[in-house]
Amino acid sequence: MHDLSTSIKEKIFAYLYRMIGQKQDAQDLAQEVFTKAYFQLGKFQQDRNFSAWLYRVAANHCLDELRRRKRTVKTTGEEVELIEMETPEEAFLQKEQKQVLLRRIMDLEEEYRSVFVLRYIDQLSYKEISEALALPMTTVQMRIHRAKKKLRESLEKGGTSLYEMSQI
Q: CATH number of the domain that 135 lies in?
A: 1.10.10.10
Q: Are 66 and 133 in contact (CB under 8 A)?
A: no
Instruction: Say whether both 63 and 92 belong to one domain.
Output: no
Instruction: Say whether both 44 and 98 belong to one domain.
Output: no
Q: How many CB atoms lie under 10 A from the CB of residue 11?
A: 19
The verdict on residue 77 lying in a domain is no
pLDDT of residue 164: 58
Instruction: Say whether both 65 and 95 belong to one domain.
Output: no
Q: Are 20 and 79 in contact (CB under 8 A)?
A: no
The verdict on residue 82 lying in a domain is no
Residue among 166, 73, 67 nearest 113 (CA) = 73
The last residue of a domain, from among 42, 69, 96 = 69
CATH number for position 11: 1.10.1740.10
Instruction: Say whether both 62 and 12 belong to one domain.
Output: yes
* Predicted TM-score (pTM) of this structure: 0.57
Question: Tens-of-pLDDT digits for all 168 residues of the chain?
Answer: 445 577 888 989 988 988 888 899 999 999 999 988 888 888 888 888 888 888 888 888 888 887 777 644 444 444 444 334 456 776 666 777 777 888 888 889 989 999 999 998 888 899 999 988 999 999 999 999 999 999 989 888 877 665 555 554
The verdict on residue 78 lying in a domain is no
Instruction: Say whether both 92 and 158 belong to one domain.
Output: yes
The verdict on residue 75 lying in a domain is no
Instruction: Say whether both 92 and 65 belong to one domain.
Output: no
CA distances from 18 to 26, 116, 132 (A): 8, 10, 16
Distance in angstroms (rounded) separating the CA atoms of residues 164 and 101? 10
pLDDT of residue 103: 85
Distance in angstroms (rounded) separating the CA atoms of residues 106 and 45? 33
Instruction: Say whether both 10 and 58 belong to one domain.
Output: yes
Instruction: Say whether both 38 and 105 belong to one domain.
Output: no
Q: Domain range holding 56?
A: 6-69
* 3-state percent helix, strand, coil for the chain, nearest multiple of 5: 70, 0, 30
Q: How many structural domains comprise the chain?
A: 2
Instruction: Say whether both 106 and 162 belong to one domain.
Output: yes
3 state SS of 138: helix
